[in-house]
Amino acid sequence: MLHATLPDQCSMLMIGSPGIGLLEFNVYLAKDYLERGEAVVFVAVDCGARDVLNLMESFGLATSEVLGKRLFLLDYHSTLLGYTDERPGKGSGIIPISDLEGIMFNIAAIANDTGKRIRIFLYTLSTLFLYNQPNVVLKFFQISSSRVRSEFGSIIVSLHDGVHDERTVNHLMAIADGVVELKFDDELNKMMRIRHMRGYPSTPQWIPFDIVNAGKSSKTKLLEWR
C-alpha cells in the first residue's frame, strides 16, 4: 500500500491533473488508514462532507462505525458556499469550520481527544487559493505542515495541477516533505509517481493506476485439479 511508502510523520503534497481522481485517491488512502485502526481527519474544501462520506462508503468503508470515533470531517465547503443551516455538532464527526485557523484548531482538538497519531487529508489547497491571498495560504501550509509533522502525524494536501503559477507550486513543493504527482499520459491512462520524499530514495518511474470496480473478476478462470 502507499501508506507503506509514506513516513509516519510527514507532510505530502499531492499534485494532480483535473479529473485524474484526486478525491478518490485521497479517499482510498483514508480508507486504508482507517482499516489499519488509525484516526483520519478529512478536510473537505472542494466538496461537501456528505459527498466524502458517500464516496468512502462506495469504497466499502462502513462510515457509521468510525465517524466521530476515528474518522472526522472538517467541513469548510459549506462555509465557502454560504450555507449556515443544518450544521452538525462536534460529536457527529462532521465539524463545520469557517476559516483557516479553524482547521488547525480542530485538528489539534481531535488529536488531543483521540490520543492517537492522526492522518490528515486536505482536499484541496487549490480552492483555498481562491478565497485567500497566496501568501496566506502558503503560510498556512508551512505552519500546518510543520505542526502536523511534529505533533500529530501526517498530512496529505491535494493541489490541482496547472491552475497555479510555477513559483507558487515550487514554493509548496519546497515546504512539503514529499510530492506525489498524478497525471494522464498521452493515451489518457492514469499514471502516478512519488516525485520525491525527504529522507527516502525515490525513482522517476511513472506507475499506472486506475479507479476500478472492486472485485472485478478475471477474464479467464483458473481451473484447479486436486
C-alpha cell, 213: 470496480
Contact flag: residue 81 with another protein (CB under 8 A): no
Q: Tell me how many degrees the CA angle 106-108-113 measures, rounded to the nearest 5.
A: 90
Q: How many residues bind another protein (CB under 8 A)?
A: 41
Binding mask 38-57 for another protein (x = CB under 8 A): -----------------x-x
Residue closest to 59 by CA, chosen among 33, 93, 90, 83: 33
Contact flag: residue 1 with another protein (CB under 8 A): yes
Give the Cα separation of 129 and 127 in Å (integer). Answer: 5
Q: Which is nearer to another protein, 167 or 221 (CB)?
A: 221
The DSSP symbol for 216 reads: P
**Sole binder of another protein in the list 35, 51, 99, 101 (CB under 8 A):** 35
3-class state of residue 62 by DSSP: coil
C-alpha cell, 13: 503534497
Work out the number of other CB atoms within 10 angstroms of the CB of residue 24.
13
Region from 19-27, 98-106, 132-140, 143-151 binding another protein, contact rule CB under 8 A:
19-27
Pairing mode of beta strands 153-160, 178-184: unpaired
Question: Smallest distance, Å, CB 24 to another protein?
Answer: 6
C-alpha cell, 176: 512539503
Lookup result for grid cell 493515451:
187
Contact flag: residue 130 with another protein (CB under 8 A): no
Instruction: Specify whether the backbone of 35 is left (phi greater than 0), alpha (psi in -120 to 50) or beta.
Output: alpha
Region from 1-9, 80-88, 104-112, 160-168 binding another protein, contact rule CB under 8 A:
1-9
Q: Which is nearer to another protein, 173 or 191 (CB)?
A: 191
Region from 23-31, 45-53, 103-111, 152-160 binding another protein, contact rule CB under 8 A:
23-31
Question: Smallest distance, Å, CB 68 to another protein?
Answer: 20
Question: Which residues are at the interface with another protein (CB under 8 A)?
Answer: 1-2, 4-5, 21, 24-25, 28, 31-32, 35, 55, 57-61, 192, 203, 205-226
